[in-house]
Amino acid sequence: MKKFILLNLLLLFVIVSCQNNTNVTNSQTQADTTNEHLLMSTVWYQKSAEMRAIYYQSYNLAKMIIDERITTLDKNQKKAVILDIDETVLDNSPFEAKCIETDKSYSKKTWNEWTQLSQAMALPGAVDFTNYAKNKGVDVFYISNRSETQLAVTMKNMKELNFPCVDSAHFMLKTSVSSKKQRRAMVAKDYNILLLIGDNLNDYSEIYEKRNQNLAFDIVDKNKADFGTKFIILPNPMYGEWENAIYGNTHKISKELKNKKLKDCLRSY
Ligand SMILES: [Mg+2]
């Protein structure tokens, strides 16, 4: 009888162990695939010297454009530059890292948890460039799709990093409309806009919103003279309109379907 009980206990132990192993394997597989698309891009953004060099290169070019454009305008004319905030002047890659770590996605709640900390770091060259522009008599406007409810925490974050023009007159956050067209027009009413800078083509023009099947390649090609002259585009491999376009101009689909669509769109040989 004792032997029988021992044998049963041993069998039970083997079954439970096998089940546990299966569970571990399943959850590992899930964690390996759900935010898989974010891992390499976030590591590149945080750990590649190339990323830093591109930001410096872009902001160096921005200074040259400002210098050149100023000479074409009357001294008394009001001048402005327009910058996006996220992944343009502030580095939110720790938010993406947290999404990978916790296997969560962007949501109002998770995004709010990060922004409330006011702990984003400045991107390379951004503080230097914006102060350079300000010292040349150019107003710096920040047009961002952060929610208006995040104005105070965003200004606190940027003030601590020594960005100029940190006041409500120079911040245009999102109220109800995502398109930045109207906000850009408000600045253009009173100012000569020397340059726009962003990590999303929508930061420059509404023609890049709701992208077509060509993913706006044709529109970019047609307007190639704008880049590095009127608009400076910064790199963001972690998310953006480019990604939404691949999903069909939405990000509200399952992670599994996202991964599938990303793999399906690849051009191979
Ligand atoms: Mg941005």
* Ligand 1 mean position, distance from CA 66 (Å): 21
* Ligand 1 mean position, distance from CA 152 (Å): 18
pTM (predicted TM-score): 0.87
Q: What percent of the chain has pLDDT over 90?
A: 80
E-state strands within the chain: 79-83, 90-91, 121-122, 138-147, 171-174, 192-198, 231-233
pLDDT value at position 194?
98
Q: What percent of the chain has pLDDT over 70?
A: 87
Query: Residue 49 to residues 25, 46, 53, 54, 144: CA-CA distances in angstroms?
Result: 35, 9, 6, 9, 26
pLDDT interval class at 125 (50, 70, 90):
very high
pLDDT for residue 59 is more than 70? yes
**Concatenated DSSP letters of 134-187:** HHTTEEEEEEEEEEGGGHHHHHHHHHHTT-S--SGGGEEEESS----HHHHHHH
* Ligand 1 mean position, distance from CA 154 (Å): 14
**Residue the block writes with tokens 């606190």:** 156
User: pLDDT for 151-170, tens place per residue?
Assistant: 999 999 999 999 999 999 99
* Ligand 1 mean position, distance from CA 16 (Å): 49
* Ligand 1 mean position, distance from CA 244 (Å): 14
- Domains of the chain are 49-238 (3.40.50.1000)
